[in-house]
Amino acid sequence: MLFYIIRKIISTIPTIFGVALIVFILFNLVGGDPTYQMVGRHANAQQIEELRHEYGFDQPKYIQFSHYLKQIVTFDYGRSYATKQPINQMILNGIGPSLSLMLPSFFVTTILAVSTALLVAYFRGRAIDKICVIISVFGMSISMLAYILFGQYFFAYKMGWFPISGYETTWPECFQYIALPMIIFIIVSLGYDVRFYRTAILEEVNQDYVRTARAKGLSESAILFKHVLKNSMIPIITNVVIEIPLLILGAFLLESFFGIPGLGSITIDAVHNSDFPVIKAMTTLVAILYVIGNLATDILYTFVDPRVSLK
């Protein structure tokens, strides 16, 4: 198992290099020269050349790519074009608000989704199972934007239960600002997760070992919670770990509409301002988080099913 984990860790190095190369090509070759976005329409040739030299755009592409790799390793992405702030400091400032919103939402959603999936699997084919499936499909079919607008208008504006937007860094003052976004995120995510986990659990319910356990006289609840849930953990872990980057970035729409200064809001502002260093840094961060998430998934597989380490 140790050799398997080490091999998986080493295999992420070329993957991250490939991700960095693709991001560099998209922003530095396909995207064109960002100098013209920065100087505006009325700049003369001398101003353009001075700015290109200042930011290193006049250097060969392989030199620029080596600088970009250095930025990834040192976590120093330079300064924002729009705010002139260090990008790594902007990221560090945005992590707190994003995690304060997404971390509790993520845990509550996961616990509720797995519990509901177990419940409907236990009562599979009955009325409660069909009702939960219908509600899940209905919840998945509605856009998050519709939930946001309805929540802000009805619960925040009309009822006055929550602030429409804003954020506080101190606790418990910040809870009143993140409560409504948390509820919306849970409602939006719950439908898909329940459907996914229900399918994973029902696939195990139809396996031969379940029929053998029933033949031996084990109760349905013991089979479901002791055997089926354990063997369903691989797809559950896959879905949970893939969603982990959302904990860092947060939900873009939620942070933007509710005025939460997290990483999602920073990224949207950078897109509006054509702030390429920030966009490139956030794109790289998301890609690396997904690579690390896949690595964590593979490692967790070995604890759920030791046979994975032999493959």
pLDDT of residue 149: 86
- pLDDT greater than 70 at residue 41: no
Alpha helices for the chain (secondary structure H)? 2-24, 35-39, 45-54, 61-74, 87-122, 127-141, 144-150, 175-205, 208-215, 220-222, 229-231, 233-242, 245-249, 252-257, 263-272, 276-304
pLDDT top residue among 275 and 92: 92
Measure the CA–CA gap between 143 and 126, rounded to whole angstroms.
29
pLDDT at 75 over 70: yes
- 278 pLDDT band, cuts 50/70/90, is confident
| 79 DSSP β-pair partners | 86
List pLDDT tens digits, range 186-207.
888 888 888 888 888 887 777 7
Instruction: Using DSSP, state whether 279 is helix, strand or coil.
Output: helix
Rg of the chain, C-alpha, whole Å: 24
pLDDT value of position 43: 64
- What residues form DSSP beta bridges with 86? 79
pLDDT (tens digit per residue) in 25-38 = 877 766 556 666 66
Q: Which domains does the chain have, with CATH numbers?
A: 87-310 (1.10.3720.10)
* Residue with token string 């933007």: 256
Quote the CA–CA distance of 145 and 253 in Å, as a whole number. Answer: 7
| Residue 72: predicted pLDDT | 84
At 305 the pLDDT is 66
Burial class (CB in 10 A: 0-12, 13-18, 19+), 68: buried
Give the pLDDT confidence of 121-155 residue by residue, as tens digits: 777 778 887 888 888 888 888 888 888 888 888 88
Identify the weakest region by mean pLDDT among 29-43, 123-137, 161-175, 217-231: 29-43
Q: What is the pLDDT of residues 95-113, one digit of tens each?
A: 888 888 888 888 888 888 8
Q: What is the average pLDDT value for the chain, to the nearest integer?
A: 79
Residues of the chain with pLDDT > 90: what percent?
Answer: 0
CA–CA separation, 8 and 13 (whole Å): 9
What mean pLDDT is predicted for residues 75-84?
A: 80
Are 157 and 238 a contacting pair, CB within 8 Å?
no
pLDDT tens digit sequence for 246-270:
666 657 778 888 888 888 888 888 8
pLDDT of residue 231 exceeding 70: yes
The percentage of residues in the chain with a pLDDT greater than 70, rounded to a whole number, is 89
Structure tokens at 233: 């953990």
pLDDT of residue 32: 59
Band the pLDDT of 301: cuts 50, 70, 90.
confident
What's the average model confidence in pLDDT over 43-69?
76
